[in-house]
Amino acid sequence: MTWGIIGTWRMVHDGLVAASKMLQENKRVGDAIEECVKAVEDYPYYKSVGYGGLPNEEGILEMDAAFMDGDTFEIGGVAGIVDAKNPVSVARALSKQKFNSFRVGEGATKFARLAGFECGNMLTERARRTWELRLDEVKKNNLNPYDGHDTVGVIGLDLSGSMAVATSSSGLFMKKAGRVGDSPLSGSGFYVDSEIGGATATGLGEDLMKGCLSYEIVRLMGEGLSPQAAADKAVYGFHHKLRKRYGKAGAFSLICMNLKGEWGVATNVDFTFSVANESAAPAIYFAKMGQNDTTVIEPITEEWLAAYEKRIKQPIE
Ligand code: GLY
């Protein structure tokens, strides 16, 4: 038996390092990926997930999250939840419920409070100020207000052969109240079957929902494709189809892992991710769309990491 874990964006890396240790120590995959996502939710400088996430156009931070167990197919989800410190933990708790396992808005927040999850104001001063500045900018320059939809999605495999996937996102910055992206939606934002593998998405939810790409990648792996071949086929096939029939394709990136801990990535934008398995220590990579529907994957550079660190912490006027 082997283990593995893969997650979206550079932001996942520190949590993934800790989670990979848990998997090496024979801890359960659900615990490892929940801890990994919580680390991202708790970090105030990541502006698209949890504490520090950017709010909707009314200045309210509405968050989406999901958890799926690949052994039992149990799924829990929250959409438009407010004030919950760790939406992923709320989603995981909901996955244990036979009924009412996907809750939205007030109902989701009420569940989190009643179930004893830590709640409080999740909007940081930095996020509030960024929202205020964007409101001004949009008014002055008649801009499209929408920006940023970087979900953290993590797929894990533990030494007992169990797989699970979790997502968490504050969604599109300046979204309308009640707008929900792909992240809490099974098949679009995530899917996992421990007998095959799992996949998860980040990008423009409105377009990801049109393709159900997470399910499609798992289905293709189930037909015998390698994770990389499945990701390339599903993502670039849909990217072309969407451009042809809808006229455009928003940014999206998908990652996947199979039951052997082998992984794949495909993207139509510049994308970073972190991955570890029994034969490779946790590392961050850069991915972009290559020629002929393939993906170019390179190790991240020190320069890129330094510029990222500077960018996420730069002072807001
Ligand atoms: N992928 C996250 C969102 O669109 O909300």
Q: Which CATH class is domain 4-313?
A: alpha beta
Give the pLDDT score at 153: 98
Q: Which residues in the chain come in under a pLDDT of 50?
A: none
Give the pLDDT score at 233: 98
Give the pLDDT score at 143: 66
Report CA(154)–ligand 1 centroid distance (Å): 15
Claim: this prediction has a pTM higher than 0.95: yes
Give the pLDDT score at 118: 97
205 has binding-site annotation: yes
301 catalytic, yes or no?
no
Tokens standing for 4?
């593995």
Q: Residue 253: beta bridge partners?
A: 202, 267
Helix-then-strand count for the chain, H and E: 9, 13
40 has binding-site annotation: no
What residues contact 139, with CB distance under 8 A and at least 6 apart? none
- Of the listed 109, 151, 200, 295, which one is catalytic? 151
Report CA(40)–ligand 1 centroid distance (Å): 16
Report CA(159)–ligand 1 centroid distance (Å): 31
**Where along the chain do its domains lie?**
4-313
- Map tokens 């039992």 to a residue: 72
Question: Is the alpha carbon torsion for 38, 42, 46, 50 positive or negative?
Answer: positive
Specify the ligand 1 atom closest to the Cα of 170: 5
Specify whether the CB–CB gap between 47 and 130 falls below 8 A.
yes
